[in-house]
């Protein structure tokens, strides 16, 4: 049964969709197009500087339809029709498409895709930080098939590195930056089969602390995986599900602290108040775990205990920027994906708007002259919106007509499958209508967008395999295996890897001599 709130929306959507007066004048559109043209012409002068810093924003499940819907929501939150609004990522000068399939999956998951855009190789569904020679759940196929990430390459080059996420810090996306696991679900040893434990495989939380011991910034959720089984949580003392999970009895927080040099200042925090009172200029290492599992949705966030994504990003950049060699920062808006899986479009889209706020925050704190920023998604969802809605229609509202088959109204936002096959209520957790009844909505298999700005951003320019992305970032920053051009640039006194390609091409021909 459709709620009275939604029925009311159908009567008001048309009156709310007024054409802005300025848009009735052709001069408005011509001037806008000419300004866009001038901006495009300026892009002919490419930024070929070496990227001192790299920031990668990953919107988990943020397909193109999600980007468009979030743009409209952002505008409507500022009392405009919405369609003409611009997300921060919309302002990036270069856009590409990324092919997201896993080596064994047409429609991918977040683990295999994370391995692609962080480690530079495509992998099987459900595996992180390993090549496609590793089979999911098969521990004995892991050894020898590990692949390293751009976070590892940046650390080897002397840069500071950080991970910020709204999911667990040992979830699929962040774990590909530091772990090598045959199964993304091995959060702690409690989730691992006895066979995998006996064969010597380590859980992802353990690897977070042990594999790369000097990650400067780690922030997100996932507290319970760091503590011994049944250890009471500091925040949710009465919640059994929030208790520690580790069977090995380890306190990984204490181990994390023990690995840090005594003359360095390391901080473990668990709430927003502690985060905001930190002096970033006296912090060398920061581990912030703000929830036992994933962090709360932005709409549900407790302003006392849980920081926003943009607040975490601000602190991370302040800490990482102290390194004169620069930094690599991975930022995940991870709960976009969760909102979609649950059919909760309102939650998902507000997560995108908050991530866009964090993108703007990062842009204000860095320069395009020396910072390459890439915004992309790991995969899409079977999420869409349509129904011939008029201009300014609430993105969460009804289509302006009823079905010509069953004469019932329907929402503009629809899912191809998922839990919204039963229409119940209208609220933050409202489950948008879906065609195929499933407990959890599924990923989509289409290409996703890649937005880029800064040094060498133009190398992200067409339709690419997803594993191409970290190779571009590494090339731009002169880290990883592909840096011959950088060594030559240094000898030639050039600050940029770009002109070097011409130099290298001409040398064998003797043209320069």
Annotated binding site for Mg(2+): 60, 171, 173, 332
d(CA 301, CA 254): 28
DSSP-derived pairing of the beta strands 409-411 and 398-402 = antiparallel
- Taking the CA atoms of residue 82, residue 87, residue 90 and residue 95 in that order, the dihedral angle to the nearest 10 degrees is -120
Pair 16, 398: CB distance under 8 Å: no
Query: With helix as H, strand as E and coil as C, how does 294-335 read?
Result: CCCCHHHCCCCCCCCHHHHHHHHHHHHCCCCCCEEEEEEECH
Q: Is 110 a catalytic residue?
A: yes
CA nearest neighbour of 252 among 234, 226, 233: 226
Read off φ and ψ for residue 333, nearest 5 degrees. -90, 85
d(CA 93, CA 474): 20
Q: What angle do CA 63, 66, 70 make, to 5 degrees?
A: 145
Q: What angle do CA 49, 51, 57 make, to 5 degrees?
A: 135
User: Which residues are known binding-site members?
Assistant: 60, 171, 173, 332, 337, 341, 378-379, 443
Residue tagged active-site, from 65, 98, 110, 131? 110
DSSP-derived pairing of the beta strands 409-411 and 327-333 = unpaired
- Residue 50 CA to chain centroid, in angstroms? 24
d(CA 152, CA 159): 10
Query: With helix as H, strand as E and coil as C, how does 51-85 read?
Result: CCEEEEEEECCCCHHHHHHHHHHHHHHCCCCCCCC
Q: What angle do CA 56, 60, 65 make, to 5 degrees?
A: 105
DSSP, res 10: H
Percent helix, strand, coil in the chain, to 5, is 35, 20, 45
Q: Read off the tokens for 177.
A: 């930056």
User: Which residues are known binding-site members for Zn(2+)?
Assistant: 60, 337, 341, 378-379, 443
DSSP H or E segment with residue 371: strand 371-377
- Annotated catalytic residues are 110
């Amino acid at each position: 049964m459709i709620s009275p709130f939604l029925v009311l929306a159908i009567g008001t959507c048309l009156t709310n969709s007024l054409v802005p007066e300025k848009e009735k004048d052709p001069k408005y559109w011509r001037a806008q197009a000419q300004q866009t043209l001038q901006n495009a012409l300026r892009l002919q002068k490419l930024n070929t500087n070496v990227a001192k810093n790299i920031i990668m924003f990953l919107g988990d499940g943020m397909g193109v339809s999600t980007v468009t819907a979030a743009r409209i929501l952002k505008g409507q939150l500022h009392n405009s029709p919405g369609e003409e609004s611009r997300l921060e990522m919309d302002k990036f000068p270069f856009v590409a498409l990324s092919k997201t399939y896993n080596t064994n999956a047409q429609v991918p998951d977040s683990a295999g895709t994370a391995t692609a855009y962080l480690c530079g190789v495509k992998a099987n569904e459900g595996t992180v930080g390993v090549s496609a020679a590793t089979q999911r759940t098969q521990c004995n196929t892991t050894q020898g098939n590990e692949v390293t990430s751009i976070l590892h390459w940046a650390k080897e080059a002397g840069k500071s590195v950080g991970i910020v996420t709204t999911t667990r810090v040992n979830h699929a996306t962040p774990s590909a930056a530091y772990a090598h696991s045959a199964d993304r679900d091995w959060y702690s040893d409690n989730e691992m089969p006895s066979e995998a434990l006996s064969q010597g495989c380590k859980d992802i939380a353990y690897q977070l602390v042990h594999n790369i011991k000097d990650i400067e910034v780690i922030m997100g959720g996932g507290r319970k995986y760091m503590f011994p089984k049944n250890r009471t949580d500091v925040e949710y003392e009465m919640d059994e599900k929030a208790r520690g999970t580790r069977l090995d009895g380890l306190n990984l927080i204490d181990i994390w602290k023990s690995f840090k040099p005594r003359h360095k200042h390391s901080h473990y925090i668990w709430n927003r108040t502690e985060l905001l009172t930190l002096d970033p200029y006296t912090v060398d290492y920061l581990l912030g775990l703000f929830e036992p599992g994933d962090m709360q949705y932005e709409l549900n966030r407790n302003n006392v205990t849980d920081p926003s994504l943009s607040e975490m990003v601000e602190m991370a950049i302040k800490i990482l920027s102290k390194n004169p060699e620069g930094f690599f920062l991975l930022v995940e808006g991870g709960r976009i994906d969760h909102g979609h899986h649950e059919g909760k479009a309102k939650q998902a889209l507000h997560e995108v708007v908050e991530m866009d706020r964090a993108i703007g925050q990062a842009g204000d704190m860095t320069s395009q002259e020396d910072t390459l920023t890439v915004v992309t998604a790991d995969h899409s969802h079977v999420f869409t919106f349509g129904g011939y809605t008029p201009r300014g229609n609430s993105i969460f509202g009804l289509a302006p007509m009823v079905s010509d088959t069953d004469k019932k109204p329907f929402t503009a936002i629809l899912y191809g499958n998922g839990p919204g096959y039963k229409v119940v209520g209208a609220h933050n957790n409202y489950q948008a209508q879906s065609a195929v009844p499933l407990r959890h909505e599924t990923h989509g298999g289409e290409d996703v967008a890649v937005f880029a700005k800064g040094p060498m951003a133009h190398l992200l320019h067409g339709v690419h395999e997803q594993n191409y992305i970290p190779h571009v970032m590494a090339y731009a920053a002169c880290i990883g295996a592909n840096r011959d051009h950088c060594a030559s640039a240094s000898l030639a006194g050039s600050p940029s890897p770009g002109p070097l390609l011409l130099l290298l091409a001409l040398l064998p021909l003797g043209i320069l001599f």
